[in-house]
């Protein structure tokens, strides 16, 4: 007899602006932990005591599944793996979590060059890279033991499959149970904030960066076709009516794209020009998020043929399609 899955959210503190992160214990024929929190003493302690409350220790886990490489979700993965627990992530996570220095250097120079072409002052760009380096320190590098394929069944949890849900992160993975309408969604859909489709580098030695907002919108469209009753998000409380929230997120993106298009009536602008106008209070503190937000919506506008870009002396300028040059 297979046991019905019990889902126990485990909330851990993080030192990040996003606030606490939700991991999840999935208990059925197997005991599975989903996500692990950042590498901090506080998160480690709360994780251990939460397991203990359920009469478990890390060694009792049959497997550990990580939704995506961000350190608030993946930070303690290595410690769990070292306790002998099978560790699963999508193949796309490998360059991010393995500490591959060629890929990390590639990523850093990609951001520096991209920020420059977006008109970001070098001093701000360098500061953002420093923040990224510090952020990475909340994750101990590791190599996943298994890389499941999308659509594959989750071992020990009948009815649950792995779902590829890219956009917020290129390796983003969710667990889905169609019959029960349950999505253990990591950061794919959050109740109180929109998930940022963060800028990501191309794969090593490739040219085209992924259009992460377009990927994310496709993921949201895919989710709209699914039976979704309850979503267990990576931040915030479990929620229902996910389809309404998805439609709101898509609508908000369309509205933001309209706002950006309207800014482009008079003169060609760089991404940084638009960041300072749209987010005058945020752009210095949250440069990475703000640049991702603006350039993602410009990708969308370009895809829809509503803006064009031109490169002049190393800077990328955007203007409205049909505007006088």
Nearer to Zn ion (CB atom), residue 78 or residue 320: 78
DSSP string across 136-151: HTTS-----SB-PPTT
Largest Cα separation within the chain, whole Å, is: 70
8 Å CB contact between 251 and 224: no
Give least dist CB 68 to Zn ion, A.
6
Nearer to Zn ion (CB atom), residue 170 or residue 268: 170
Distance from CA of residue 169 to its chain's centroid?
Answer: 3
Nearer to Zn ion (CB atom), residue 270 or residue 292: 292
In this structure, how many other beta carbons lie within 10 angstroms of the beta carbon of residue 8?
A: 16
8 Å CB contact between 239 and 250: no
Give least dist CB 202 to Zn ion, A.
20
Count how many residues are written for the chain: 325
Nearer to Zn ion (CB atom), residue 39 or residue 319: 39
Nearest-CB residue for Zn ion: 70
8 Å CB contact between 80 and 33: yes
Nearer to Zn ion (CB atom), residue 189 or residue 307: 189
Give least dist CB 51 to Zn ion, A.
23
DSSP classification of residue 57:
-
Q: How far apart are CA 47 and CA 43, in angstroms?
A: 6
Give least dist CB 237 to Zn ion, A.
17
Give least dist CB 55 to Zn ion, A.
30
- For residue 246, give the nearest of 295, 190, 296 by alpha carbon: 190
Nearer to Zn ion (CB atom), residue 70 or residue 256: 70
Give least dist CB 197 to Zn ion, A.
11
Instruction: Determine how β-strand 230-233 pairs with β-strand 307-312.
Output: unpaired
Nearer to Zn ion (CB atom), residue 35 or residue 273: 35
- For residue 200, give the nearest of 59, 106, 297 by alpha carbon: 106
Q: How far apart are CA 40 and CA 119, in angstroms?
A: 35
In the three-class reduction of DSSP (H, G, I as helix; E, B as strand; rest coil), residue 13 is classed as: coil
8 Å CB contact between 63 and 85: yes
Question: Rounded to whole angstroms, what are the CA distances from 193 to 237, 304, 315?
Answer: 12, 25, 32
Nearer to Zn ion (CB atom), residue 18 or residue 129: 18
Give least dist CB 139 to Zn ion, A.
12
Nearer to Zn ion (CB atom), residue 187 or residue 299: 187
Report the interface residues with Zn ion, using CB under 5 A: 70, 187
Give least dist CB 93 to Zn ion, A.
12
Give least dist CB 171 to Zn ion, A.
10
In this structure, how many other beta carbons lie within 10 angstroms of the beta carbon of residue 21?
A: 26
Q: How far apart are CA 191 and CA 246, in angstroms?
A: 10
């Amino acid at each position: 007899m297979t046991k019905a899955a019990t889902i126990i959210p485990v909330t851990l503190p993080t030192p990040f602006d996003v606030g606490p992160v939700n991991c999840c214990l999935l208990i059925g024929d197997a005991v599975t932990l989903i996500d692990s929190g950042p590498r901090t003493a506080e998160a480690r302690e709360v994780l251990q005591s939460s397991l203990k409350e359920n009469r478990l220790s890390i060694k009792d886990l049959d497997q550990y599944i990580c939704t995506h490489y961000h350190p608030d979700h993946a930070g303690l993965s290595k410690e769990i793996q070292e306790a002998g627990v099978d560790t699963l992530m999508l193949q796309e996570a490998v360059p991010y979590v393995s500490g591959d220095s060629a890929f990390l250097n590639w990523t850093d120079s990609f951001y520096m060059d991209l920020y420059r072409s977006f008109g970001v002052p070098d001093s701000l760009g360098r500061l953002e890279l420093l923040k990224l380096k510090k952020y990475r320190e909340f994750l101990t590098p590791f190599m996943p033991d298994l890389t499941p394929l999308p659509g594959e069944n989750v071992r020990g949890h009948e009815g649950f499959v792995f779902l590829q849900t890219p956009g917020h992160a290129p390796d983003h993975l969710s667990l889905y149970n169609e019959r029960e309408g349950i999505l253990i969604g990591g950061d794919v859909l959050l109740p109180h904030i929109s998930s940022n489709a963060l800028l990501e580098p191309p794969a090593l030695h490739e040219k085209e960066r992924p259009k992460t907002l377009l990927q994310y919108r496709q993921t949201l469209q895919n989710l709209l076709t699914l039976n979704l009753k309850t979503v267990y998000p990576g931040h915030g409380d479990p929620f229902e009516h996910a389809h309404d929230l998805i439609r709101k997120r898509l609508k908000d993106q369309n509205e933001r794209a309209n706002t950006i298009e309207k800014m482009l009536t008079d003169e060609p602008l760089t991404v940084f020009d638009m960041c300072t106008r749209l987010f005058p209070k945020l752009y210095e503190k949250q440069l990475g998020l703000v640049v991702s937000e603006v350039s993602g919506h410009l990708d969308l506008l370009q895809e829809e043929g509503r803006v064009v870009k031109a490169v002049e002396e190393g800077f990328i300028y955007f203007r409205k399609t049909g505007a006088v040059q």
